[in-house]
Amino acid sequence: MTMSAEQDGQKRVAAAWAVEEVEDTNCAAHRRLDIAIDGADQVERRTLNLIKGLGGALLREKMVASASRRMIVVADETKLVNRLSGNTPLPVEIVSFGWETVHDRLAAIGCAPRLRLIGGKPFTTDGGNYIVGCAIAEIPDPAALDARLSALRSSSVRLALSPKAKDAQ
């Protein structure tokens, strides 16, 4: 198995900070974390707005981030964009039961959702949920879109905001 440049960067940052890697199965023993290190799919220039979740672990990543006092995001220049979205679909994790309802709600607010398929079947996250990719030309106000999507039932949105916004919660 080969390691991506992003994974390699995460490992090097973790090693430099002497960070212990927490396995998913060991989260009960690590309910509060000092730091989380993860990658991003897009990073908006001049802001700390991010799109994360194309790898398909949205809910788990969100839970680790919320349990962490600080978060380091590793990304290279290929992830930098002037505006979020564009050619990168915004991933949204939805509960598999009744997923069509959330899909329709996403379509109704102009997100153009598309169910992620692998081999003709819905891609299933480690939590048993589905992922839809939302085609959005640009996201001019990430905080407003995040609030709007978070208000939908049965979805987990990975539109990350700046650490200041997280700390204010």
Q: Which of 44, 61, 77, 138 is catalytic?
A: 61
Q: In whole angstroms, give the CA distance from residue 146 to residue 127.
A: 21
Cβ–Cβ < 8 Å for 55, 38: no
Which backbone phi and psi does 138 adopt, to 5 degrees? -150, 155
CB atoms within 10 A of CB 30: 14
- Catalytic annotation on 61? yes
Tally of helices (H runs) and strands (E runs) in the chain: 5, 12
Active site residues: 61
